[in-house]
Structure 1
Amino acid sequence: MEKRRLGTSDLLVSTLGLGCMSLGTEQKHAVNMIDEALEYGINYFDTADLYDFGLNEKFVGQALKKRRNDIILATKVGNRWNDAKDSWTWDPSKVYIKDEVKESLRRLQTDYIDLYQLHGGTLEDNIEETIEAFEELKQEGVIRYYGISSIRPNVIREYVQNSFIVSVMMQYSLLDRRPEESALPLLHDNGISVVARGPVAKGLLTEKGEQKLAAFEGKGYLDYSGTELAKTIEEFRHVRPTHSLNSTALQYCLANPTVASVVAGASSSLQLRENVKAVEASPLQPTEISKLQSIFKANQYEAHR
Structure 2
Amino acid sequence: MLPARALGTLAAPAQGLGCMGLSEFRGPVDERRALRTVHRALDLGVTMLDTADIYGRGRNEELVGRAVRGRRDRVVLSTKFGIVRTDDPNERSVNGRADYVRRSCEQSLRRLGVDHIDLYYVHRIDPATPLEETMLALAGLVAEGKVRHVGLSEASPEEIRRAHAVHPVSAVQSEWSLWSRELEAEVAPTCRELGIGIVAFSPLARGILSDGFRTLDDLAADDDRRRNPRFAEQNFDRNLLLVAALRDLARECGATVNQLALAWVQARGADVVPIPGAERPEHVEENARAVHLSLSSDELRRIEELSPAEAVAGFRLDRCRAQMLR
Question: Paired residue for 1:247?
Answer: 259
What CA distance in whole angstroms lies between the structure 2 residues aligned with 1:96 and 1:193? 26
Question: Paired residue for 1:20?
Answer: 19
What CA distance in whole angstroms lies between the structure 2 residues aligned with 1:236 and 1:51? 32
Question: Paired residue for 1:232?
Answer: 242
Runs of at least 5 residues in structure 2 that lack an aligned partner in the other structure = 24-28, 220-225, 317-321
Question: Paired residue for 1:108?
Answer: 112
Question: Paired residue for 1:190?
Answer: 194
The Cα of 1:252 is off from its aligned counterpart by: 0.5
Asked if the contact 1:172/1:197 (under 8 Å) is kept, the reply is yes
Any residues of structure 2 matched to 1:154-303 within 5 Å, and which?
Answer: 154-160=158-164, 162-211=166-215, 220=230, 229-241=239-251, 242-257=254-269, 259-280=271-292, 282-297=293-308
Runs of at least 5 residues in structure 1 that lack an aligned partner in the other structure = none
Among all aligned residue pairs of Structure 1 and Structure 2, give the percentage whose two residues are the same amino acid: 28
**TM-score (norm: length of structure 1):** 0.86
* Change in CA separation of 1:30 and 1:220 when aligned onto 2, cut-off 3 Å: closer
3-state secondary structure, aligned to 1:99: helix
Question: Paired residue for 2:3?
Answer: 3
The Cα of 1:278 is off from its aligned counterpart by: 2.4
Aligned length: 300
Asked if the contact 1:213/1:226 (under 8 Å) is kept, the reply is no
The Cα of 1:212 is off from its aligned counterpart by: 5.3
Asked if the contact 1:147/1:166 (under 8 Å) is kept, the reply is yes
* Change in CA separation of 1:158 and 1:214 when aligned onto 2, cut-off 3 Å: farther
The Cα of 1:258 is off from its aligned counterpart by: 5.2
* Change in CA separation of 1:210 and 1:272 when aligned onto 2, cut-off 3 Å: same
The Cα of 1:26 is off from its aligned counterpart by: 4.4
3-state secondary structure, aligned to 1:148: strand
Asked if the contact 2:17/2:277 (under 8 Å) is kept, the reply is yes
**TM-score (norm: length of structure 2):** 0.81
The Cα of 1:297 is off from its aligned counterpart by: 3.6
Alignment of 1:119 onto 2:119: no
Asked if the contact 1:204/1:213 (under 8 Å) is kept, the reply is no
Asked if the contact 1:194/1:258 (under 8 Å) is kept, the reply is no
